[in-house]
Amino acid sequence: MPGDGSNPEDWSAQDKFAIVVETLGMAEAELAEYCRQKGLYVEQIGRWRVS
């Protein structure tokens, strides 16, 4: 589950989808900051968007 310290790649499809939806309208700098706060990588979210 997001935010509990677990590996983001092991999160459920529903959790990944929620992150993708939440970040859709973000500019590059805003997305980078969001990722830093959540312990994610921009590239991860990019992969989730195309999955």
Token readout for 3 is 């935010």
Residue 28: domain span: 9-50
Q: For residues 38 and 4, give the distance between their C-alpha atoms in angstroms, rounded to a whole number.
A: 10
Flag whether 33 is in a domain: yes
Give the total number of structural domains in the chain: 1
Q: What is the DSSP letter of 4?
A: T
Class of residue 36 by CB neighbours under 10 A (exposed 0-12, middle 13-18, buried 19+): exposed
Look up the pTM and report it: 0.84
Mean residue pLDDT of the chain comes to: 91
Q: Tell me: the pLDDT tens digits for 21-32?
A: 999 999 999 999
Flag whether 41 is in a domain: yes
Flag whether 2 is in a domain: no
**Which of 10, 11, 41 has its CA nearest to residue 23?**
41
